[in-house]
Structure 1
Amino acid sequence: MPAPYPLLDMPPGDIKNTHEFTAMHMAAAHNTFIQGINAIVAHAPTVPPNKIQPFLIFCLTVLDNIHHHHHIEETYFFPELEKKLGEGALSRNYEEHADFVPQLDELQVYLKTVQEEEEKYDGMVLLEKIHSFSDSMMLHLSHEIPTLEANRLKAVFTEKELKDIDAKVLSIALKTIDFYKAIPLGLVCSNPATPWFPPLPLPVKLAARWWYSRRYSEAWEFGPLDLYGKPREVSVKA
Structure 2
Amino acid sequence: MSSTNERPLYTDTPLALLATPAFLTGKKDPFTMGASHMTISHNSLIRGFNSIYQQAPRISSSDYEDFTGYCLAWHRCVEQHHMHEEVNYFPEIERATGQKGVMDGEVEQHAAFHAGLKSFKDYLTSLKNPATDFKAKKLLEVMDSFSEPLYTHLAAEPQALLALSRFASPERQFDITKIEKEQGKKAVTLDFALNTLPIFMNNMEVVEFEGGMWQNHPEVPSIVRWVMKSVLPLWNRKIWRFMSCDSAGRRKRLFA
Q: TM-score range by the shorter chain?
A: 0.7 to 0.9
The letter of the residue matching 2:250 is K
Q: Which residue of the other structure, out of 120, 123, 135, is the alignment partner of 2:136?
A: 123
1:11 and 2:41 equivalent?
no
How many Å separate the matches in 1 of 2:159 and 2:26? 16
Cα distance, 1:149 vs structure 2: 1.2
Partner of 1:54 in structure 2?
66
Partner of 2:5 in structure 1?
none
Provide TM-score, normalisation by structure 2: 0.82
How many Å separate the matches in 2 of 1:98 and 1:215? 32
Partner of 1:86 in structure 2?
99
- Give the stretch that moved more between structures: 39-48 or 221-230: 221-230
Contact kept, 8 Å, 1:189 with 1:224, in 2: the verdict is yes
Cα distance, 1:11 vs structure 2: 0.8
Q: Helix, strand or coil for the counterpart of 1:217?
A: coil
1:186 and 2:196 equivalent?
no
Percent identity (aligned): 24
Q: How many residues align?
A: 233
- Counterpart mapping for 1:96-175 below 5 A: 96-114=109-127, 116-117=128-129, 120-149=133-162, 151-152=165-166, 154-155=168-169, 158=173, 161-175=175-189
Unpaired segments of 5 or more residues in structure 2? Answer: 1-11
Contact kept, 8 Å, 2:205 with 2:250, in 1: the verdict is no
1:67 and 2:79 equivalent?
yes
Q: Helix, strand or coil for the counterpart of 1:132?
A: helix
How many Å separate the matches in 1 of 2:152 and 2:70? 23
Contact kept, 8 Å, 2:205 with 2:251, in 1: the verdict is no
Contact kept, 8 Å, 2:32 with 2:162, in 1: the verdict is yes
How many Å separate the matches in 2 of 1:229 and 1:195? 8
How many Å separate the matches in 1 of 2:80 and 2:98? 24
Provide TM-score, normalisation by structure 1: 0.87
Partner of 1:213 in structure 2?
233
How many Å separate the matches in 1 of 2:80 and 2:27? 23
- Give the stretch that moved more between structures: 138-147 or 190-199: 190-199
CA RMSD of aligned residues (A): 2.4
Over residues 98-141 of structure 1, what are the superposed CA-to-partner deviations in whole Å (9 max), with x where a residue is unaligned?
A: 11011101111111222x42770000000000011011110111
